[in-house]
Structure 1
C-alpha cells in the first residue's frame, strides 16, 4: 500500500514540476499560481518519498550481505534502515492526509471580551496585538476592519492563512493580576475568538432583497466627519438574523463593503457548519456552538506558561493538553510551536477518520 502511495506522490510531484516549467502555464497567472500551490503542497511529501526509497534500498542491500553471513555491523545497519522505513511511512501518510478545503483562504478574525469585565476587554486587545504580530512574522498582511474597547475585527491575507489561524477559534482564558488590582490577587478573564475563512462572491449567494441596510452617524474617534454624515452602516440578513455593523471608515461605501465581506464570511462559516453536522452528528464546529464556550487555551502569567487544551477541540482525548513555558514569546507573536502541534494533531485525527471511513 505504501509503495502505491509513494508512486502517486512521485507522479503528481513530477507533473507539478512540469507545469511550473510549461510556458503556457507560466503565461496564465491563475494556472501558474495553482501549480505553485500544488508544488509547495507536494514538496514535503516528495522529499519523504525520496528518503523512503533510500531507506528501502539500504535495507535490501543489508539483507543481501547478511544472506552471505552474519555481520553485527550490517545487522545494525539493517535495523536502522527498518526503523527509518517505519517512521517515514507514517510521516508520508500524514503528509498526504486530505486537507481542509479552506486552508488556502484568507481569514477574518473577530475577538470579543468575555467574562471578567474591563480586564476581559484588555485581554481581547492583547490577543489582537498577538495575532497581528504573528501575521507580520509570517509575512501575511493584517488589515483592521473595526476596533473598539474589547472588540476587534480584522482580516489576515496570505496563502494558507486559514491553515495557520483556524486553531485560534474558541475561548482564550487568562490568569493574571490586573493592573487595577491593589491587593495583588489573580483574576481569571476570557476572550472569545472566531476565525472565519473568507468567502468569495461565488461561494455564498446573498439575495439583496434579504438585506436590511441602515445608515447612521458614526460615534467615537474618526475626524471631522463624525456625527456630521451618515457614514456608519448596519446590515441585517433577515433569513438568518445575522447583523454586521461597520463605522470605522469615513465613507459609507467603504463601511458597506467591509460589512458585506464580514457578513459573507459569517454566512459561509454557517453553511460549512451545517454541512459538517449533516455528515457527522457528533462533530461540532468550534465556532458558534457550545464548544466555543469551553476554554481552548489558558495563559497563566504567574507561572509564565501557555496551555492548549487539545482535547476540547476534538483533536485528541478529552483530557489531552500541551504546555509551553514561553508566555512572553507567545504574546509577542511566536505561536509557531503551538500551531505546528495543532496542525500535527489535526492531521492525525483526519488520518484516523479516513481509516475508519
Structure 2
C-alpha cells in the first residue's frame, strides 16, 4: 500500500474519531446500551489509530529536521550523528506504518481472536503409519493443553489409521474467551523426526501432519442455502457398537459452490451428525473467505504468523535432540517431553508477541 493512501486513510480515521468522541457523550446514545457499546468499541480502536498517527507525524517532523542538517550543516560530526538518527527514525516510521496498516485493514479479519470456541482438524500427511501415530500424539498434546486451560472438547469425527493412530480427527473446543486467539497459531504443517518403533535399522524417520484451526461460527454469521448442500448418508465405520453400523447414521455434506465436503459419524443419531457436520461446514466456509482476504493483504504484511496457511511448515518435533522448533519465529524449546505433555502456552505467547510487531 502506498504511503499517500495510508495517510489518507489515517486522516479519515482521525476525523471519524473526533466525530465519535462528540457522539459518545450524548445522553440519548449513553442511554442506548447497544448503540453505546458499539460506538465505544469503535472509539477504542480509532483512539489507537489516532495515537499512532500523531506519533507518525512527530517522527516525520523530526525527519525533516534531520534532512535539513544533512543538507546544510558543514559540521562532519553533526552530520554523522544526524545520519545515525535518520536510520532510527526511518525504522520507527516503518514500524508505525505496519502497526497502522494492521489496525486499519488486518484487524477486521482477526476479530474472532476473542471467540470462546474453535474447530481443530488434524490430518496425517507424508510418512504413512508413522504420520497417523503422530496425529494421535499431537491429539494427546492438545487435549492435555485444553485440560490445563480449563477448556472442554468433543470429538466430532475420527478416522482410524491402518495400524495405529488416526488418519483424520476433528475436535470441537469450547472454553473461555480467547480459545481461537490461542489455537490459531497451530494451523500449518507439523513435522516429526524420530526413530519409529517398527524401524529395525534404527534409522531416523521424518513424517508430517497438518493442523487446521477454524473459528467456530454461529449460523447467523454464515448463511448457507439448503439448495447448495448435497447430503449423503452411510453406515458408520467408527466406534459405537452394532447399532451404528446397522443404520445409515453417518452424514456427508457437500457445499456445491465451494466443493467443501464434511463427514460426521461419531453420533448414533443422523440428526446429531448432521448438526455437527453443518457446524464444521460453516466454519470452513467462513475460514475460506477469511483466507482469501488475508492473501490479498499478506503481500504487504509479509507475515506467515496466524495466516492460517496450512501448506506452511510451522514446527518440527525432533525427538533425538529433545527439541521443538517453531520455524516462523526461529524459536527452539529443549523440553520436547514437557511440550508433548501440553506445555505449549509459552510458545503461543511468543507467537502473539511477534504477530503484534
Residue 299 in 1 paired to residue 305 in 2? Answer: no
**Unaligned 5+ runs, structure 1:** 1-7, 16-21, 46-89, 311-319, 349-357
Matching of residues 54-73 of structure 1 within 5 Å: none
Aligned to 2:140: 129
Q: Secondary structure at the match of 2:284?
A: helix
In structure 1, which of residues 343, 347, 354 is the aligned counterpart of residue 356 of structure 2? 347
SS in 1 for 2:289: helix
How much has 1:280 moved relative to structure 2?
5.0
Deviations 1:167-211 (A, max 9, x none): 000000000111111121110010100011111112211010000
Q: Distance in 1 between matches of 2:293 and 2:179?
A: 22
Aligned equivalent of 1:156, options 173, 191, 197 = 173
SS state at 2:198 partner: coil
1:131-187: CA deviations, max 9, x gaps?
111111111111211122221100111210111000000000000111111121110
Distance 1:236 1:269, change over 3 A: same
Which of 226, 235, 238 is the aligned partner of 2:256?
A: 238
CA distances 1:276-329 after superposition (whole Å, capped 9, x unpaired): 234455669979x9953331000000110110001xxxxxxxxx5111101111
Distance 1:241 1:216 in 2: 19
Aligned to 1:113: 124
| TM-score normalised by length of structure 2 | 0.66
Matched, 1:140 2:151: yes
Tell me what 1:255 maps to.
Answer: 273
Q: What is the CA-CA distance between 1:220 and the residue it aligns to?
A: 3.3
Deviations 1:205-264 (A, max 9, x none): 101000000111112321121221110101011111111011111000010000000000
The number of equivalent residue pairs is: 268
Unaligned runs of 5+ in 2: 1-16, 25-29, 49-94, 161-165
1:324 to 330, 333, 340: 333
CA RMSD of superposed structures (Å): 3.7
Rounded Cα–Cα distance in structure 2 between residues aligned with 1:172 and 1:202: 33
Distance in 2 between residues matched to 1:254 and 1:330, nearest whole Å? 35
